Amino acid sequence: MLCLLLASIPVVAFLVTLTVIIALTRLDADLLLALYAKFGNQPASLKGKVVWITGASSGIGEYIALCLAEAGCRLVLSARREQLLEKVKERCLLISKGKLSEDDIMVFPLDVVDYESHKPAVQNVLEKFNKIDILINNAGKSQRSPWVDVELCVDRELFEINVLGSVSLTQHVLPHMMERKQGHIVVMSSIAGLIGAPHSRSYTGAKHALHGYFDCLRTEMIEHKIDVTILCPGPVHSNLFIEAATGKKGEMMGKADNLKDKKMMTDRCAYLSCVAIANKQFEAWITEHPFLGICYMNQYSPLLSFLFLKIVGVKRLMKMREGQ
């Protein structure tokens, strides 16, 4: 009997390993986030929280707002375009199904690179809600161009929008959270903040910088009981490429989103982002294969990741990145 049991161990181990591999190939998020989505806190657990979202007028930011409105969170919606924010507010009120009133959603136009406006902006939000439980730094700009064709001013622009905007606003929100000994800072990065994405040096460099800034913040905030979450989506349906930079000053891609492209749907990305926030996950990878697999390879075997990318090639990788 014992011999039979021992002989079956390799078979059981093989079946378990095979099951895990098959399960991993079906994921659209890192393993921890996938487990949280199945067994952890859901966005509804954030009900009643005051959540400030930048870049809330469209794309992932808009859908995060909708997900949190459905959960019953009180919201501060910020972006440059007030008219679009008002439309997002209307959608949030509708999807909340009575959980929120007009007074529970604040439309607050804000340009993240107008650093001087950040301190009074925080005061205005506090006057309205008396607290800020969660700050979601989602505002950002994408960019596409070969490395050698990028003008330095484009790097500077992307760094100011994608990095310093979040750093500045966070710095003005932190004293309030530190005084309360509670709070949650969320920053929207990208899988381009984990791997060297080709043809987007300004965007990739800025997203890598975000990890440095906010990993540093997470460590410092341990004693203040303030959580920091870094979200890393992969290719997602949005209108990001309409205003995305190229390599030239003032030039934009002007490319509309095509729903036929093989990218994650925006509402799915927003839901997984909210699950990561609800469970206070340090860092969340939100992407489908092959990019999820590349993230794991890059994390645990950078050489294997580089060899894989070398075999795939830049042209093929770019098509995969665009969902083609």
Task: Please report, in tens digits, the pLDDT of each residue of the chain (324 residues total).
Answer: 555 555 555 544 444 443 445 456 679 999 999 999 999 999 999 999 999 999 999 999 999 999 999 999 999 999 999 999 999 999 999 999 999 999 999 999 999 999 999 999 999 999 999 999 999 999 999 999 999 999 999 999 999 999 999 999 999 999 999 999 999 999 999 999 999 999 999 999 999 999 999 999 999 999 999 999 999 999 998 888 888 999 999 999 888 888 888 899 999 999 999 999 999 999 999 999 999 999 999 999 999 888 988 898 888 888 878 877
Q: How confident is the model at residue 16, as a pLDDT? A: 42
Q: How confident is the model at residue 8, as a pLDDT? A: 57
* DSSP bridge pairs for 228: 185
What domains are defined for the chain? 30-289 (3.40.50.720)
Residues 6+ apart with CB under 8 A from 84: 57, 58
- How far is C-alpha 120 from the chain's CA centre? 26
Regarding beta strands 226-233 and 105-107, do their DSSP bridges make them parallel or antiparallel, or are they unpaired? unpaired
Determine if residue 254 is left, alpha or beta; phi over 0 gives left, psi from -120 to 50 gives alpha, anything else beta.
left
CA distance 213 to 197: 20
* DSSP bridge pairs for 107: 77
Q: Supply φ then ψ for residue 4, to 5 degrees.
A: -65, -40
The answer to whether residues 68 and 88 touch, using CB atoms and an 8 Å cutoff, is no
- How far is C-alpha 199 from the chain's CA centre? 20
Q: How confident is the model at residue 18, as a pLDDT? A: 39
Catalytic residues, by residue number, are 203
Tokens of 158: 């992307």
Q: Any long-range contacts for 98-105 (C-beta under 8 Å, 24+ apart)?
A: 99/47, 99/69, 99/70, 99/71, 99/72, 100/69, 100/72, 100/74, 100/75, 104/74, 104/75, 105/69, 105/74, 105/75, 105/76, 105/77
What dihedral do alpha carbons 238, 241, 245, 250 form, nearest 10°? Answer: -110
SS3 31: helix
CA distance 269 to 301: 26
Q: Any long-range contacts for 153-159 (C-beta under 8 Å, 24+ apart)?
A: 153/249, 154/202, 154/245, 154/246, 154/247, 154/248, 154/249, 155/201, 155/202, 155/205, 157/202, 157/245, 157/249, 158/202, 158/203, 158/205, 158/206, 158/245, 159/202, 159/205, 159/206, 159/209
Residues 6+ apart with CB under 8 A from 41: 275, 278, 279
The answer to whether residues 270 and 61 touch, using CB atoms and an 8 Å cutoff, is no
Cα separation values, 69 from 49, 54, 81, 300, Å: 10, 15, 20, 37
Question: What burial letters (b/e) apply to 226-235, b meaning 16+ CB within 10 Å?
Answer: bbbbbbbbbb
